[in-house]
Structure formats: structure tokens, C-alpha cells
Amino acid sequence: MTTSATMTRTASRPQSPIPSEPAWTVDAVLALFELPFADLLFRAQAALRAHFDPSAVQRSTLLSIKTGNCSEDCGYCSQSKRYQTGLETQGLLSTEEVLAAAKAAKAQGAGRFCMGAAWRGPKEKDMAAVAEMVREVKALGLETCVTLGILKEGQAETLKAAGLDYYNHNLDTAPEYYGDVVTTHTYQDRLDTLQNVRAAGLKVCSGGIVGLGETRRHRAGLIAKLANLDPPPESVPINNLVPIPGTPLAGSETVDIFEFVRTIAAARIAMPASYVRLSAGREQMSESEQALCFLAGANSIFYGDQLLTTRNPRVDGDNALFEKLGLHGV
């Protein structure tokens, strides 16, 4: 009788202010974070299973096609020329170098190839070279993604014409906290670029970073902002900050793994039809911590030994983990 009464109370537990459909308020997302952990993961799994094969994980490989000497002051980034991080700078790679890396990624099982350049935004003289890279990678049968910073008028259309599938431009954090992390461009600059990308007919990859010194409410604010984009991003990378010596955020405190998993789960529930990518910081996680993230609804990873400037789990390690968990790459 006690068990039955408990079940009745649980079943009738009010869900407000958590909506079943957008728009998502910050308070609604915050209410997700505050659910009992098991309830939150249950809801996240239900959302995942309503839209995806829960055993399939989308795999993207990321290549830095131009490294370092960036003018911007993003407090987490080793590529800013304002910080002394010991990073070796590298000019724009040739199409041949990029194509060789893309072929290797495809051979290892990646389905998407992402190319990142450390710019405030691309100059017109760089667009032809990047467009050629996109065309050649697309011809291999891979999905294509680039992250080039703030786009000027017409540049998104140029990339679309070259065959680009996704443009990555992260919002990083909540609007009200953004100025504590970046001062050389605004939150609106990022939103304007996303709007330009959408207008050109490209898919959007946009997420954020956990561990910038933000509060839980800021994390909820980021997710609400992403979920209320019309439409939400098709891919949502959730990064766990890797503090880089020499950057302003080098001494940042590591976010508790359960808080990070709650962030993944909240993103999954708020954006049920999006790929939620377990991104930077994964090398610092144990296999069991990664498994919790997949259970919370992550269904995408960066695949390959290197991200832009930080290490990533080895391919053989990922393959072994997938086998243990019964996952398969797509």
C-alpha cells in the first residue's frame, strides 16, 4: 500500500514550470537541472529515443586549418595572440593537407569533417581557399562543417555554394555572462552570424562551454537561448573547459561531473531533435563518466586524437568504449 501511494504521488507530481514544448524560459531549464538525477536522466533518455536510435553516435573529426594569432580575447582560448600559451602558430593549410586529413578521418569511421580557423572572421582573400577545401572534402562523401568566426555579408552564401553542410559558431554561455569571458565582440555579433548562416540555408552547429566560472543559472540561460533559436541548432556541442596555461581562465575550477551531466541532459530535453555533442574535455573524463553523458542524451562526439589545440581520446580507446556500451558510430 505504501509503495502504491508513493507511485501515485510521483505520477501526479506537477511538471510546471518545465514545458513540454518550446519556448523555454531560463526558469524552465533551471527546473530541469533541479530534478532528481534519476528523473532527469529518465526524461533525457525518453527525449533521445523519441528522435534517434539511442545506440547510434554521430562522429565528427575536427581539424585546425589555421592555428593561432587570433585578434580576439576569448578568455578560454589558447589561440588568442593576447596570451602567452606556447602555442605554435600555423598559417592556412593547403587543400592537399586538408584533404589528406579528411581521407584519414573517413577511413577511421568519421561521418563529418569539421575545419576550424582562428580568425575574428575570414577575409575575402581566404574565402576561395576555404571554399575549395569544402568542395574537396564534400566530394569524399563526408558531411562538411567549418568554424571561421564572424561572417560578413555574402560569405555564408559562398560556403553554401561550395557544398558546406554545417556552420559552427558557439554562443559559449548565457548572454548576461558573456562579457565576463569575451570583450572584443558581442553576443549579438554571434547571433547575427547564426542568422546569416540560417538565411543562406546552412545547418547550424552551436553550443557552449561549461566551467567558465558561470553559475547553474548561466548554464540554464545558455540552453534556453539555444533552444529558442528558430529552429534550434541541428548540432549542440557541450564543451567541458580544458584550462590552458597562459589564458585568463587557466585557474578555473573544474565543474562537478554530475553538474556537467545535468547540462547534457537539460540540453537533450530542451532540444530533443538536435545532436548533442560531448565535446572538449572528454579526454579528462573516465569511461564511466562518458557513459553517464551518453545515458544523459549525448549522441555525438569529436572523433580523433586531436581537437583544435587540445588532445582528444584516441580512436582505439573510443572504439573500445563503444563496444563496451553497445554503441555504434554513424
Q: Tell me the three state secondary structure of residue 193.
A: helix
For the chain, the 3-state helix, strand and coil shares in percent, each to the nearest 5, are 40, 15, 40
112 is annotated as an active-site residue? no
70 is annotated as an active-site residue? yes
145 is annotated as an active-site residue? yes
43, 59, 112, 114: which one is catalytic?
Answer: 114
- What burial class does residue 315 get, using C-beta atoms within 10 Å of its C-beta: 0-12 exposed, 13-18 middle, 19+ buried? middle
DSSP H or E stretch at residue 208: strand 208-210
CA nearest 116: which of 128, 134, 103, 142? 134
293 is annotated as an active-site residue? no
205, 219, 262, 293: which one is catalytic?
Answer: 205
The Cα–Cα gap between 34 and 85 comes to 37
77 is annotated as an active-site residue? yes
59, 262, 277, 282: which one is catalytic?
Answer: 277
Largest CA distance in the chain: 74
> Would you say 56 and 224 are in contact if contact means Cβ atoms under 8 Å apart?
no
43, 59, 70, 112: which one is catalytic?
Answer: 70
Q: Tell me the three state secondary structure of residue 116.
A: strand
The Cα–Cα gap between 145 and 102 comes to 12
Catalytically active residues are 70, 74, 77, 114, 145, 205, 277
